[in-house]
Amino acid sequence: MGFTVNALSPVLGAEVIGLDLSSSISDAELSRLNQAWLDHNGVLVVRDQSLTPEQHIAFSKRFGELEQHVVGQFLLKGYPEIYRVSTKVDDDGKPMGNPESGRYWHSDLSYLERPSKASLLYALELPESGGDTMLASMYAAYDALSDTMKGMIEGLTGVHDLYHVNKFFETSGPSAAQAELTPPVEHPVVRTHPETGRKALFINPGFTSRIVELSKSESDALLEFLFAHATKPEFVYRHRWRLHDLLFWDNRCTIHHAVHDFAGSGFRHMHRTTVLGEAAVL
Ligand code: SIN
């Protein structure tokens, strides 16, 4: 099977060279790719792809059922499985995708009962510089905690709430009606990855609003500590995009943050699919 996998960071992330996803890959290639994804802690970038929306969707479906994002105004017309992340506007001057997408640390769709397994983000147009995506390993963040802290947080439950994310948006956050379609849910603060059996922190500043078992001030203090801990530079891989990269991350053991530093440097236009996951369990 003719593709190579090169680590981009020892903590998480590898690039895949020599794989063409525009036609169906074999089950053996898929299995090798999935193993590389797990081995590199849930982040792969497949370089040099030329994908139509149909091909992007077909490849994504090899990993499971796809989600339709509740913030429906940014879905690609005719392809509800594709959520657009974009600073471009259409002929009517309307945003083609969410221009403020991902500018906070989060795990995609953690506010659902069955949070997302994976996201596949495809770069169609990039600014001349800037617009990187940072990803942090929630395995590494969990592993680095003391045994005492691990013991303390393992029985705790986080509330994940789509509306909570609005504090990070100026214009393009979810509406109250969209948030009502996805009422807040509870997940364990530490989850066990169903494929690797490893434990990972499962909280994120975007959507985790509080910890059920604690008072508000205790919850605020613990979340502030965990968010700062989880996003320490030593747990982070920063992806510098190349045109036609397909970045593929595991929302069960990573969180990510788009860096909105590229105003005046050109458009950033991407298509994202999101694969439905399973309920999070300790
Ligand atoms: C996202 O949060 O899915 C978008 C990330 C990005 O734009 O880099």
Hey, which bits of the chain come out as E strands? 4-7, 14-17, 43-46, 75-76, 79-86, 116-125, 133-137, 157-160, 185-188, 190-192, 199-201, 208-211, 236-239, 246-250, 254-258, 269-276
156 lies in a domain? yes
Q: Residue 222: is its pLDDT beyond 80?
A: yes
194 lies in a domain? yes
107 lines ligand 1 (CB under 6 A): no
Please say if 106 is a catalytic residue: yes
Q: What is the mean pLDDT of residues 91-98?
A: 92
pLDDT of residue 1: 57
207 lies in a domain? yes
101 lines ligand 1 (CB under 6 A): yes
Hunting for tokens 């956050």 — which residue is that?
173
Q: What is the mean pLDDT of residues 192-197?
A: 98
Q: What is the mean pLDDT of residues 26-36?
A: 97
CATH of the domain at 176: 3.60.130.10
| pLDDT tens digit sequence for 36-55 | 999 999 999 999 999 999 99
258 lines ligand 1 (CB under 6 A): yes
Hunting for tokens 């940072």 — which residue is that?
134
280 lies in a domain? no
Domain count for the chain, please give it: 1
282 lies in a domain? no
Please say if 32 is a catalytic residue: no
Instruction: Find the domain containing 129 and state its range.
Output: 4-275
Q: Which of 50-64, 157-171, 190-204 is the least confident region?
A: 157-171
Mean pLDDT over each residue of the chain, to the nearest integer: 97
